[in-house]
Structure 1
Amino acid sequence: MQEHEYALLGGVNRAEVGRYLGAIAAGVSAVIVFVLLTVVDLAQQFGIPTNLPPAVLSLVGAGAVFGALYWIFDRHAWRWPYIGQLLKVPDLAGDWQCDGQTLKPDGSDSYGWEGKVTIIQSWDKLRVRLKTSQSGSNSITAALIHDEADGYRLLYNYRNDPRIGEAELKSHLGFAQLVFSKDLRSAEGEYFNGHGRFTFGTMRLARI
């Protein structure tokens, strides 16, 4: 499974971030070109033979600079504390210990289970991977919500596939909702399954 795009609700719009990066890229490109041309001009004044191929200028054009800036932003810069707070996007990437509780239709406990959740996240893509002793699941779509009252809320639906030999389990689709603490060290939520396995319950996550 590959990472997929995810929606951002309550944070800074991605299109707005792209406009800011575009403006910065244009400015940076202009400065670099100006410096290169100035160096060439000074070299010629001192009689130093110089040749600045057009290909060099194209490498520092606004488009190329934007691509480099976006890669840095997508992989690293959005995680920096002050930038992350400004964008209202939490860094959830990493491994989490998951303690789940499946419930009966009347809401009473049925049975407990344990697993490990791995969240892979960049600025524009996300993947939630849950592994247990019996099965594994991967997120298909997701949305991340900035909730000023409760913290950050992650909504995602997933596909679960049982391990070989688990005859009683069937592949199924499900939905989960997790609310993360403000320090991003724990989360609580709930899930429900359908299209192959009709169960529901609660989940508690603790960052490993």
Structure 2
Amino acid sequence: MLEHEYTLLGGVSRLKIGRYLALISAAVSGFIVFLLLSSVDLAQRLGIAASIPPSVLSFVGAGTVFTALSWILNRYAWRWKFINSLLQIPDLAGSWSCTGTTMATSSNQSFDWSGEIVIIQTWDKIRVRLKTATSASNSRSAALIKDEADGWRLFYNYRNEPNIDQSDLSAHRGFSEILFDPDLRGGSGEYFNGHGRYTFGKMSLERR
């Protein structure tokens, strides 16, 4: 699993969300326990022998409910329109068509390239994978920053591995910054390579 945590600046603090989840979990757990005990009490009044093993009550405890709610939020609920508007996290997951231009330097010629960016994202983890005809890269760390003037910016560093038949290319590390359009249908950015390939350029994205 190559997904990694990412920093969120400008959205709602994950620590604050954790506190809210804890309060909600305690309330939900208490309500479930109340319903169970009320059901047993009603059954006994009707002359039905009923009881609840302690293990059942522990199973619906606040800790279990918190774990379940956290998993649902992390995998699914953060994308739901109402919750997403509260969390203020852009949903970038999916496939993006990418075109780029590597700028000319004293040691490199300018050239155009194209590829596909796949972003895998949950509430607390992300992975940015770029695949071109000659190489592939995966993000190692990332940050999302809400720009009140322009939209969401994604910063990430990556490691690039050339295809086995590209003997003239070297593995390298780099850094990229992408500014996404407000509707999250496209974006533009820049990249800077080092530690093996000293190039830089610009790129544009369009959601597929």
Partner of 1:136: 136
Partner of 1:45: 45
Aligned amino acid, residue 154 of structure 1: L
Q: CA deviation at 1:165?
A: 1.2
Partner of 1:190: 190
| Segment of structure 1 superposing worse, 42-51 or 21-30 | 42-51
Q: CA deviation at 1:82?
A: 2.3
Q: CA deviation at 1:87?
A: 1.6
Identity %: 60
Q: CA deviation at 1:56?
A: 0.7
Aligned ranges for residues 142-181 of structure 1 at < 5 Å?
Answer: 142-181=142-181
Partner of 1:105: 105
TM-score (norm. length: structure 1): 0.97
Moved over 2 A (4+): none
Task: Give the 3-state SS of the residue equivalent to 1:6 in structure 2.
Answer: strand
RMSD: 1.1
Aligned ranges for residues 16-55 of structure 1 at < 5 Å?
Answer: 16-55=16-55
- The CA distance in 2 between the partners of 1:82 and 1:27, in whole Å, is 21
Task: Give the 3-state SS of the residue equivalent to 2:160 in structure 1.
Answer: strand
Q: CA deviation at 1:32?
A: 0.3
- The CA distance in 1 between the partners of 2:58 and 2:38, in whole Å, is 17
Q: Deviations over 1:155-176 (max 9, x none)?
A: 0000000001101100000000
- The CA distance in 2 between the partners of 1:85 and 1:46, in whole Å, is 48
Partner of 2:70: 70
Q: Deviations over 1:88-119 (max 9, x none)?
A: 2100000000001100138xx81100000000
1:84 aligns with 2:75: no
Partner of 1:115: 115
Task: Give the 3-state SS of the residue equivalent to 2:174 in structure 1.
Answer: strand
Partner of 1:94: 94
Mark the runs of 5 or more structure 2 residues left unpaired by the alignment: none
Task: Give the 3-state SS of the residue equivalent to 2:91 in structure 1.
Answer: coil
1:58 aligns with 2:58: yes
Mark the runs of 5 or more structure 1 residues left unpaired by the alignment: none
Aligned amino acid, residue 191 of structure 1: Y
- The CA distance in 2 between the partners of 1:78 and 1:110, in whole Å, is 41
Task: Give the 3-state SS of the residue equivalent to 2:157 in structure 1.
Answer: strand
Q: Deviations over 1:29-52 (max 9, x none)?
A: 000000000000110111101121
Q: CA deviation at 1:59?
A: 1.1
- The CA distance in 2 between the partners of 1:206 and 1:85, in whole Å, is 23
Q: CA deviation at 1:83?
A: 1.8
